[in-house]
Copies of this chain bind each other. A is one copy, B any other.
């Protein structure tokens, strides 16, 4: 999974986290930021653009760990603020029922999702945002694409770890770009 920066390491040292990563699934949340019209129709999908360690660019949705004693709602808020800035005004869903659960395995091919570092299980939500988005930290930019653009195979190739599949699931869930 293309990881968005983790501002809080939790209560683990880097070594401890490394050790845990190889031995149990880690709980993640993922948020697909969208713009909607007055009738709730998704008009645009927001994808973060960043450079990875090798200097290549890739696109991703908002992603991050749920910390000890943190509610899923608060983890969503925290990661959205981390990636989209403090005035994005995300609308966290009233229900915690995710549109899908994405299982990222260190071994490719078990599911459409893959993360070489760990076994992560992400509850995925579609989150309308209405404010200004100012990507922070390591993200270079947030780009708003129409559903058609987001479904394009070229865009998909720029998403690693199966996040392109996640975006397609999100689009299908909102009845778009089918």
Contact = CB atoms under 8 A, between A and B. Distances in A.
Interface of A: 10-12, 20, 22-27, 34, 36, 38-42, 66-74, 76-77, 91-101, 103, 105-107, 110-112, 119, 121, 123, 126, 128, 162, 164-166, 168-169, 171-175, 178
16 contacts: A10-B24, A24-B67, A25-B70, A27-B121, A38-B77, A38-B92, A39-B77, A42-B94, A69-B105, A71-B110, A71-B111, A72-B101, A96-B101, A100-B172, A112-B175, A164-B178
Copies in the complex: 4
Contact of A73 (B20, B34, B40, B171): B40
User: Chain A interface secondary structure, helix, strand, loop or mixed?
Assistant: loop
